[in-house]
Amino acid sequence: QFPLPIPPPLPPSATYTNETTGKSIDFYELDIRSFEKQVYPNLGTTTLVGYNGIAPGPTLYMTRGREAVVRFVNKYDRPSSIHLHGSYSRTPFDGWAEDVTGPGQYKDYYYPNVQPVRTLWYHDHAIGITAVNAYFGQAGFYILSDSTVQDKLKLPSGDYDVPLMLASKQFLPSGKLLSPENERDSLFGDVNTVNGQPWPYMNVENRKYKFRLVDASISRSYSLYLVADSNPKTRLPFTVVGADAGYLDHPVPTTNLVIAMAERYEIVIDFDKYKGQNMTLMNDRNFQTNPDYPATDKVLRFVVGTSTSSSNGNGDIPSLLSDLVIPNPQTTVDKTFEFGKGSGGQWLINGIGFEDVKNRVIAYPSQGKTQRWRLVNKGGGWSHPIHIHLIDFQVVARTGSGRQGVTPYEAAALKDVVYLGTNEQVDVIANFAPWSGVYMFHCHNLVHEDHDMMAAFNVSQVDL
Ligand code: C2O
Ligand code: CU
């Protein structure tokens, strides 16, 4: 086993003054290029394509209220488009799939950084090749914080606030990755990686830690639980404190956490009672339609030190974490979208795929108005995590034969991805704001997205 790598932070390369506001604006620069790395022990090197020569890419730590421009220079031989997942970016900076930056070109993306603090991630979104690009390494963390929020909540911070990017991969005997290029349904992978490393371990102290989880797999979703290795049958409690759109309304203790592709959850684990022990973050077998392999039930091992932590890290988690801006309740369903397979084997939303350029704008919410959308999984033994760009939504109902209801941690959150399990129907409510424009929504099984389970909605300034 190998230690957990932590993606390094990227400092801004310059700071300018925004002439309109007089405020500082930070400039960052990243490139897209391929590189070789020893990833899987005892196999050959793996060819990856990442940001600044690493995968996951560097972590961009942003301060709320401080704008940023991030330049992405494409030094690879395929087009790219960058989506900052979790940001209400204006349309030119949202990573529209056809707005690609070709080999040898660069694009500057503007990010306002004024949303509530949250864990975001940046990843490729190029038309038809998003799965391949994200899978080979074009993904990284972008963490928006605000010291006044942090000072008030006193949750674990600094070295005790750890980003964990989960991704399941499949390695060939050569050590190279099996490419999802020719897949039409999914590539689940038989190897769980965290921050790029297969089945790593992490040395921790006997205190509380906060972990920022994102599932960056292209197809695998996880049902996580925590055990002490000495007693693998007993699921230990941990606390969910954040989700896609930042802190939950209140902390939610649980012994199980479902995290699907592109979802983010922040959890607090208290290692205080486990000095000198090993603990493992596990993944349930037979979860939804994910195929199991010999070790896909293991994700990450924690090795708790034997000496007493010198830091003061076991304060209580506050009983209120944030004031979520919940959209107005509404029982009328404005739009119903069915996610399923077309007769030609392609993945469609209401029978339409993104390639159908004339028909792919399938909703026209008015700017600033609330809508309730019903997402229906048409079945066929597949699950679909659905991501809606621009907005944070509230998950208000889940029915059907899959899981039961809205989970307690979904109910206390605002989200931008919701897991639509096999045969499920989910209702979400959102305020379509702040900007007008045409935005994408799609399945975040990236193989489905590429083949063609993506559509668009047009947030209009006038009521249509
Ligand atoms: Cu995380 Cu449209 O994607
Ligand atoms: Cu899907």
* Average pLDDT of the chain to the nearest whole number: 96
Between the alpha carbon of residue 208 and those of residues 116, 238, 254, 380, the distances in Å are 24, 10, 16, 42
Q: How many CA atoms lie within 13 A of 109 on its CB side?
A: 29
Cβ of 387 below 6 Å from ligand 1: yes
Cβ of 83 below 6 Å from ligand 1: yes
Cβ of 386 below 6 Å from ligand 1: no
Cβ of 262 below 6 Å from ligand 1: yes
Contact (Cβ atoms closer than 8 angstroms) between residue 410 and residue 243: yes
Single-letter residue type at 313: G
Tell which residue, 120, 97, 122, 98, has the closest CA to residue 109. 122
**Atom number in ligand 1 closest to CA 389:** 2
Contact (Cβ atoms closer than 8 angstroms) between residue 189 and residue 220: yes
Cβ of 442 below 6 Å from ligand 1: yes
How far away, in angstroms, is 421 Cα from ligand 2 center?
Answer: 10
How far away, in angstroms, is 218 Cα from ligand 1 center?
Answer: 11
The residues facing 375 across adjacent strands are: 337, 426
List the structure tokens of 348.
């469609």
Residue 463 has pLDDT above 80, yes or no: no
The residues facing 363 across adjacent strands are: 457
Contact (Cβ atoms closer than 8 angstroms) between residue 356 and residue 319: no
Q: Which fold has domain 153-304?
A: Immunoglobulin-like (2.60.40)
Residue 92 has pLDDT above 70, yes or no: yes
What is the Cα 370 distance to its own chain's centre? 24
Residue 200 has pLDDT above 80, yes or no: yes
Cβ of 70 below 6 Å from ligand 1: no
Residue 308 has pLDDT above 90, yes or no: no
Tell which residue, 251, 396, 266, has the closest CA to residue 330. 396
* Segment 347-369 mean pLDDT: 97
The secondary structure of the chain, three-state, reads: CCECCCCCECCCCEEEECCCCCCEEEEEEEEEEEEEECCCCCCCCEEEEEECCECCEEEEEEECCCEEEEEEEECCCCCECEEEECCCCCHHHCCCCCCCECCCCEEEEEECCCCCCEEEEEEECCCCCHHHHHHCCCEEEEEEECHHHHHHHCCCCHHHEEEEEEEEECECCCCCECCCCCCCCCCCCCEEEECCEECCEEEECCCEEEEEEEECCCCCCEEEEEEECCEEEEEECEEEEEECCEEEEEEEEECCEEECCCCEEEEEEECHHHCCCEEEEEECCCCCCCCCCCCCCEEEEEEECCCCCCCCCCCCCCCCCCCCCCCCCCCCCCEEEEEEECCCCCEEECCECCCCCCCCEEECCECCCEEEEEEEECCCCCCEEEEECCCCEEEEEEEECCCCCCCHHHHCCCECEEEECCCEEEEEEEECCCCCEEEEEEECCHHHHHCCCEEEEEEECCCC
Any idea which ligand is nearest the CA of 451? 2
* Segment 71-78 mean pLDDT: 98
pLDDT tens for each residue of 174-195: 999 999 999 999 999 999 999 9
How far away, in angstroms, is 443 Cα from ligand 2 center?
Answer: 5
Does domain 14-146 fall under CATH 2.60.40.420? My reply is yes
Residue nearest to atom 1 of ligand 1 (CA): 85
How far away, in angstroms, is 20 Cα from ligand 2 center?
Answer: 43
CATH superfamily of 335-459: Cupredoxins -  blue copper proteins (2.60.40.420)
What is the Cα 418 distance to its own chain's centre? 11
Domains 14-146 and 335-459 in one fold? yes
Single-letter residue type at 273: K
Cβ of 123 below 6 Å from ligand 1: yes
User: What is the rounded CA–CA span in Å between residue 377 and residue 360?
Assistant: 19
How far away, in angstroms, is 274 Cα from ligand 2 center?
Answer: 39
**Atom number in ligand 1 closest to CA 83:** 3
Confidence of residue 16 (pLDDT cuts 50, 70, 90): very high
Contact (Cβ atoms closer than 8 angstroms) between residue 330 and residue 374: no
How far away, in angstroms, is 349 Cα from ligand 2 center?
Answer: 10
Cβ of 120 below 6 Å from ligand 1: no
For residues 48-78, b (16+ Cβ closer than 10 Å) or e, as one string? bbbbbbbbbbbbbebbbebbbbbebbbebeb
Contact (Cβ atoms closer than 8 angstroms) between residue 183 and residue 220: no
Tell which residue, 263, 260, 220, 222, has the closest CA to residue 413. 263
User: What is the rounded CA–CA span in Å between residue 33 and residue 136?
Assistant: 11
How far away, in angstroms, is 204 Cα from ligand 2 center?
Answer: 36
How far away, in angstroms, is 113 Cα from ligand 2 center?
Answer: 29
Single-letter residue type at 240: V
Confidence of residue 464 (pLDDT cuts 50, 70, 90): low
Any idea which ligand is nearest the CA of 419? 2
**Atom number in ligand 1 closest to CA 454:** 2
How far away, in angstroms, is 142 Cα from ligand 1 center?
Answer: 14
ipTM for the predicted complex? 0.97
The residues facing 33 across adjacent strands are: 50
Any idea which ligand is nearest the CA of 121? 1
pLDDT tens for each residue of 227-278: 999 999 999 999 999 999 999 999 999 999 999 999 999 999 999 999 999 9
Residue 74 has pLDDT above 70, yes or no: yes
Cβ of 85 below 6 Å from ligand 1: yes
Place of tokens 């975001």: 120
In the chain, % of residues over pLDDT 90: 94
Single-letter residue type at 99: D
List the structure tokens of 202.
């992490």
User: What is the rounded CA–CA span in Å between residue 224 and residue 381?
Assistant: 21
For the chain, the domains span 14-146, 153-304, 335-459
CB atoms inside a 10 Å sphere around CB 196: 23
- Determine the pLDDT at residue 231: 97
Torsion of CA 109, 114, 118, 122, to 10 degrees: 0
Residue nearest to atom 3 of ligand 1 (CA): 85
Cβ of 125 below 6 Å from ligand 1: yes
pLDDT tens for each residue of 334-346: 999 999 999 999 9
* Segment 368-372 mean pLDDT: 97
Q: Are strands 201-204 and 197-198 parallel, antiparallel or unpaired?
A: unpaired
pLDDT tens for each residue of 399-430: 987 677 999 999 999 999 999 999 999 999 99
How far away, in angstroms, is 444 Cα from ligand 1 center?
Answer: 7
